[in-house]
Amino acid sequence: MPAILLVHFVSLRKIKRKAMLFANYQAMEKIFGKKILSKNYPLLFIRVLILLFLIFSVAGMTIVYEGYVTNIDFVLAIDASASMLAQDYTPDRLAAAKDAALLFVDSVPGETKTGVLSFAGAGFVKQELTSDKEKIKSAIKSVDVELAGGTAIGDAAISSVNLLLGGQRNRVIILLTDGQNNIGPSIDEALAYAKRHNVKIDTIGIGTEEGGIVANTSIVTGLDAKTLEMIASQTGGKYYRAGNKSELESAYKEIASSTMQEISLDISSYLMLVALAMFLVELVMVNTKYRTIP
């Protein structure tokens, strides 16, 4: 920038010396009614902008902002531990979760890719990423209570991230559970892995405040809402408390309709085009209105 300013004003001084040698210089000023030699500030301004745009373009300038995006790949991670058979939902938690997930599939755009994973003491891939809604629905319907005991939320999150790595779009996991992580990788490990791969996790805590009894058992499980809130907040997601079937369906619909993400927009090519356009404008101005008289 200093170099451009220096060259501009030094050039003006040299041009003025040459112009003063012209015998009728003052007469021309009277005829035109204005100074023949100006400081050409408009030209200087345009040249400075051209240089700025070129610098930013070569630097690969990128704008990062938060906005709603629809170009997202999803993984539906559904808790399939024994406690999901609790009957505080009709007919039980797992059936209600599957019905809500089916509504989610109907709500997302047709080109959206979705994977399905169930988990109990480990994660079980039911469907790789696909935009085929019939395959996704079939995978959701196939989710059933797994024999592996426990609730491996950390393992489910890591497995879900791995499913998303094959996609090229924004990545979101919808993790639904009624319990707490009590087996497998820790939540901290899962969070570090998700953040390393820029994956957002929306969490849904399912279960009524009164709780429910698993048929023919006395199983009682507690929802670890604090951990689910942490998982969501640390990955840029949102925690949903689904205290009834209506709230569960609303959570899935909200995620499907609008998801807030950090969006990166590379504007370097646009800046290069602007710089080129301004250069052409400057070229026209130099050869017309701001043309230097010999």
DSSP-derived 3-state class of residue 95: helix
Higher local confidence (pLDDT), 146 or 292: 146
Residues 105 and 224 in one domain: yes
Whole-structure pTM over 0.85, yes or no? no
Q: Is residue 146 part of a domain?
A: yes
Q: CB of 118 within 8 A of CB of 78?
A: yes
Which tens digit of pLDDT belongs to each residue from 232-251? 999 999 999 998 889 999 99
Q: What is the pLDDT of residue 173?
A: 96
Residues 140 and 232 in one domain: yes
Residues 25 and 110 in one domain: no
Residue 258's pLDDT band (cuts 50, 70, 90)? low
Residues 241 and 99 in one domain: yes
Cα separation, 250 vs 131, in Å, equals 22
Provide the edge-to-edge strand list for the sheet that holds 123-130: 123-130, 113-119, 72-79, 170-177, 199-206, 239-242
Q: What is the torsion angle, in degrees rounded to the nearest 10, for the CA atoms of residue 183, residue 188, residue 192 and residue 194?
A: 50
Q: What is the torsion angle, in degrees rounded to the nearest 10, for the CA atoms of residue 145, residue 106, residue 195 and residue 247?
A: -70
Higher local confidence (pLDDT), 109 or 186: 186
Q: Which CATH number fits the domain that encloses residue 93?
A: 3.40.50.410
Residue 253 domain boundaries? 66-265
Q: What is the pLDDT of residue 148?
A: 76
How many domains does one find in the chain? Answer: 2
Least confident of 6-20, 139-153, 255-269: 6-20
β-partners of residue 172 are 74, 200
Q: What angle do CA 88, 91, 93 make, to 5 degrees?
A: 55
Cα separation, 55 vs 46, in Å, equals 14
Residues 97 and 201 in one domain: yes
Q: CB of 153 within 8 A of CB of 118?
A: no
Q: What is the pLDDT of residue 96?
A: 93
Rounded to an integer, the average pLDDT of 273-293 is 78
Q: CB of 198 within 8 A of CB of 237?
A: no
β-partners of residue 179 are none
Residues 45 and 71 in one domain: no
Nearest to 159 by CA among 73, 68, 76: 76
Residue 15's pLDDT band (cuts 50, 70, 90)? low
Q: What is the pLDDT of residue 259?
A: 59
Query: Euclidean distance between the first and final Cα of the chain, in Å?
Result: 28
Rounded to an integer, the average pLDDT of 33-41 is 56
The token pair that represents 58 in the structure block: 């070569």
> What's at 271, amino acid-wise?
L
Q: Is the pLDDT of residue 32 over 60?
A: no
Q: Is the pLDDT of residue 17 over 70?
A: no
Rounded to an integer, the average pLDDT of 271-286 is 86
Residues 166 and 226 in one domain: yes
Residue 291's Cβ-side half-sphere holds a number of Cα atoms within 13 Å equal to 6
Q: CB of 74 within 8 A of CB of 173?
A: yes
DSSP one-letter string for 218-255: -------HHHHHHHHHHTT--EEEE-SHHHHHHHHHHH
Which tens digit of pLDDT belongs to each residue from 207-240? 876 666 665 555 556 678 899 999 999 999 999 9
Which tens digit of pLDDT belongs to each residue from 46-100? 888 888 889 999 988 888 776 655 678 999 999 999 888 888 888 889 999 999 9
Residues 110 and 214 in one domain: yes
Q: Is residue 293 part of a domain?
A: no
